[in-house]
Every structure is written in C-alpha cells, then in structure tokens.
C-alpha cells in the first residue's frame, strides 16, 4: 500500500487501525491504552490552535477555507449559537489564535533549513501498514512527506537543544517518529526524519532537528514494546495496569538524611 496523498481527518479516523495517538498510552500500560480508545475528550483551544498552526504551515491555501474568526467576545449567548450554526463544519478561532498561527507559519517559512524542507512534498499524508512482529494493523497521518524527508512540526516553549530534547523524551516524540518511520519502511521508503521545532510565543524562533540513529533506536524500542503490550492484551482479553505486583517504595534522594548531618547529631547527643 502506498501513502495516501490526502484524506479528511474524519476519513482517517474511520480507518480501523492502531495509531500513535492511542498506542503511546500502551507505553504506560494496557489499562491506559484500552481507556484511551473510548475516552476522547472535547476539543480544547490548544488543540484547535495546533491544527490551525499545522494548516497554516503546511497548507496555507486551506486556512481561510476551513477556519473562521469569532470576534464577538465571550463564546455564549444567541449570537454565538447562531454563529456556530452559520459556520458548521469549520473550526472557529479567536483573532489572536489566527494571528499566532500565521506568525508561526511566517517564522517557519523564513528559516532557511525549514523552508528548504517544505519546497516540495505532501502534507497530511496517510499511511497504513501491518507490523511484522505482532501482526497489528497500523496507521499514521504524517505532517509532511517528501522524496527525501519525513517532517514533523512541534510547537514548544523553548527550542534550546537540552530543553527541547527533554520535552521530546517526556512527550515520547522519538517513539512517535520511529513508529512513523517503521510504517514508511514497510512501504519501501526510508526518508530522513526531521523535526521543525518552533516556539509558540513571539518571536517564534525556529530550529530543525534530525532524529539520529541512537534516538530512533530508542524510539523503536518504545513503540515495539507498546505494540507487544497491545498484542498480548488482545490475546488475553485482559488490560492490566502497569504495576500489578507489590513494589518497594522509591523515595527521592533528598528524602534521606545526610550522613554528615547524622554524624553531627550523633556527636551532639553524645556530648550531652
């Protein structure tokens, strides 16, 4: 199966396959994964802004066709309800949210390396494959795919390497991108993996990171373990939490007395 250049998000959601948005919870436990399958919450302002930002960066021509601006202040009352009905099917943004999405777009497009990655390629590209080890059907929706690179856009507070690297580890971005790379490899494609990181507040500084071999290997270990967890739970019909056995308590180092303090206390007690 080859990558699908364009399908709607609703069409993508209807594909009965495992995707990273839910698979990442299996890194914690089968319980968390199973819960994620039926617990999708309401869309938040941050989620709407994130989608608008991706559209602005990768498909700017679609921005004003799929989003509409509400300038009426508080989102309640008859005017708000009528506005929603009049613009059914479109995402409603506040003026400052559109401004932020466009400012991020301009910052990314002004960065020489990021701009070069986006000269040609396919946005919002859907891929499907079967994991060879577990037999699980998988899917992914890629931000941008060209002949040479898989590109993923991440917004962040700080693009400084150590700070952003810590965010990548915490948010499991390396697992996500290794999962995507495995899908592309199953389709006979092996592009470089790039992250465009952009700060979500002005002046929206931009950095481009390459996912190296070591980082990709760490991500492979993560997503493969998650897929094995899902496969085992599907076979057994049981979705356990991450810690079914009794465990010893692990206190942080600062909770324990300092040996020097203990010695001083011992001397003071003896002197008394």
pLDDT of residue 269: 59
Across the range 111-118, mean pLDDT stands at 97
pTM of the model: 0.87
Greater model confidence, 256 or 105 = 105
DSSP secondary structure of 70-137: --SSSS-SHHHHHHHHHTTTSEEE-HHHHHHHHHHHHHHHHSHHHHHHTSS-EEEEEEEEE-TTT--E
Largest separation between any pair of C-alpha atoms in the chain:
84
pLDDT of residue 8: 78
Q: What are phi and psi of 91, to 5 degrees?
A: -90, 130
Mean pLDDT score of the chain: 91
Q: Is the model's pLDDT at 4 over the cut of 90? A: no
Domains, the chain, ranges and CATH? 9-237 (3.90.320.10)
Task: Convert the pLDDT of each residue in 21-38 to its tens digit.
Answer: 999 999 999 999 999 998
Q: Hey, CA dihedral for 137, 141, 142, 144, is it positive or negative? A: positive
The DSSP symbol for 4 reads B
pLDDT of residue 10: 80
pLDDT of residue 2: 64
Q: Is the model's pLDDT at 207 over the cut of 80? A: yes
The answer to whether the CB of 131 falls within 8 A of the CB of 182 is yes
Question: Which ranges in the chain belong to alpha helices (H)?
Answer: 9-14, 20-23, 30-36, 45-58, 63-66, 78-86, 95-110, 112-117, 161-171, 173-186, 213-236, 259-271
Q: Is the model's pLDDT at 182 over the cut of 60? A: yes
The answer to whether the CB of 143 falls within 8 A of the CB of 47 is no
Tokens 């099917």 found at: 89
What is the distance of C-alpha 95 from the center of its chain? 25
Greater model confidence, 44 or 161 = 161
């Amino acid at each position: 199966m080859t990558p699908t250049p364009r399908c709607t998000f609703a069409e993508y959601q209807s594909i009965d396959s495992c995707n990273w948005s839910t698979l990442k919870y299996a890194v914690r436990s089968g319980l968390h994964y199973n819960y994620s399958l039926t617990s999708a919450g309401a869309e938040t302002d941050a989620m709407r802004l994130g989608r608008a930002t991706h559209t602005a960066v990768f498909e700017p021509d679609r921005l004003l066709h799929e989003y509409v601006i509400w300038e009426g202040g508080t989102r309640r009352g008859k005017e708000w309800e009528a506005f929603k009905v009049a613009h059914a099917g479109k995402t409603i943004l506040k003026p400052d949210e559109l401004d932020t999405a466009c400012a991020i777009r301009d910052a990314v497009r002004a960065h020489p390396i990021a701009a070069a990655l986006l000269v040609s390629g396919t946005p919002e590209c859907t891929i499907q494959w079967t994991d060879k080890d577990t037999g699980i059907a998988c899917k992914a929706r890629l931000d941008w795919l060209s002949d040479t690179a898989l590109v993923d856009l991440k917004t962040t507070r700080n693009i400084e390497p150590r700070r952003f690297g810590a965010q990548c580890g915490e948010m499991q971005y390396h697992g996500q991108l290794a999962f995507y790379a495995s899908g592309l490899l199953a389709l006979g494609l092996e592009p470089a993996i790039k992250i465009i990181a952009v700060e979500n507040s002005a002046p929206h500084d931009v950095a481009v990171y390459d996912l190296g071999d070591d980082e990709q290997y760490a991500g492979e270990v993560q997503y493969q373990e998650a897929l094995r967890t899902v496969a085992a739970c599907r076979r057994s019909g049981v979705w356990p939490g991450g810690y079914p056995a009794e465990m010893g308590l692990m206190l942080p180092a600062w909770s324990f007395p300092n040996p020097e303090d203990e010695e001083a206390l011992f001397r003071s007690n003896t002197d008394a």
